[in-house]
Amino acid sequence: MDVTSVLFYVFSAILLISGLRVITAKNPVHAALFLVLAFVNASCLWMMLGAEFLSLTLILVYVGAVMVLFLFVVMMLDVDLEAIRKGFWKNFPMALVLGVVVLIEMLLVVLKNPLVTMSANSDPATNISNSNKLGWVLYTQYSYPVELASMVLLLGLVVAVALTLRKSEKAAKYQNISKQVATDSKTRFTMIKMDAEVEDKGEAQ
């Protein structure tokens, strides 16, 4: 067995174990961290396939941004584990049925289509990196789907802002930054002329 296959099995094993720990870890923060580990290992597997752009983007987007915000929220929330566990056995049969259905569907797809081996590697003959290649394909052949996807994302962005926007004027306090910056010493303090010494009335004696 060569080094590449050893690495593949190591990464896959860690991926599977950390995936399992995401749903079994008692502490929600630890669960989120195992999810991060799973993402990183998935990224390593992609890197081994030669898909460096996808692999690094997975880390940049999911690990670097999405999971950080996720962790942020999980840390701030006061999660009551007992309340979550309460309905576990009641909902278990339904979850089991759903899980089995999904498993069968996945197996059907995998078994029906024979596994195709594809090379994501950059073409050594032309020496074009696969980020370059991906860029060409996305902005020529698939330019309409890319535009469509970007519009959907933009819509999501606007909706997220619209949902959290509170219109009541009393609740929101705005600062006028240019007004803040435009202040000078005259508006902030005044000099008062006074004598250097004040005559002591002699009450202390």
Partner 1 sequence: MMDLLQQYLGHDLGYAVWYLIKAVIVIVPLTLVVAYVTLAERRILGFMHARIGANRVGPKGIWQPFADLLKFVFKEIIIPAKASKAVFFLAPAVILICALATWAVVPFSPELYFTNVNAGVLYVTAIGSLGVYGIILAGWAGNSKYSFLGGIRATAQMISYELAMGFALLGVIMISGSLNFIDIVNSQSTGRLAGSILSWNWIPLFPMFLIYLISGVAETNRAPFDVCEGESEIVAGFHVEYSGTPFALFMLAEYVSMVLVSALTVIMFLGGWLSPFPQSWGILGQHSMAWLVVKVLILLFGFIWYRATFPRYRYDQIMRLGWKVFLPITLVWIFVLGAWMVSPLSIWQ
Site string for partner 1, 132-151 (x = CB under 8 A): x-------------------
Q: What share of the chain is helix, strand, coil (3-state, %, to 5)?
A: 70, 0, 30
Q: 50: number of CA atoms within 13 Å, CB side?
A: 13
φ, ψ dihedrals at 76, nearest 5°: -75, -30
Of residues 12 and 54, the one with the C-beta less far from partner 1: 54
Unique residue bearing structure tokens 């995998």: 110
The distance of closest approach from Cβ of residue 125 to partner 1 in the complex, given in angstroms and rounded to an integer, is 15
Cα first-last separation, the chain? 99
Should residue 27 be labelled a site residue for partner 1 when binding is judged by CB under 8 A? yes
Report helix angle 28-48 to 3-24, nearest 10.
160
The 8-class DSSP code of residue 134 comes to H
The helix (run of H) or strand (run of E) holding residue 78 is: none
The distance of closest approach from Cβ of residue 64 to partner 1 in the complex, given in angstroms and rounded to an integer, is 3
Unique residue bearing structure tokens 């940049």: 60
Interface residue with partner 1, options 11, 15, 34, 36 (CB under 8 A): 36
* Number of residues forming the site for partner 1 (CB under 8 A): 29
Site for partner 1 in 45-104 (CB under 8 A): 52-53, 56-57, 59-60, 63-65, 68-69, 71-72, 75-76
Interface residue with partner 1, options 1, 3, 162, 182 (CB under 8 A): 3
Residues that bind partner 1 (CB under 8 A): 2-3, 27, 29-30, 33, 36, 52-53, 56-57, 59-60, 63-65, 68-69, 71-72, 75-76, 122, 129-132, 175, 177
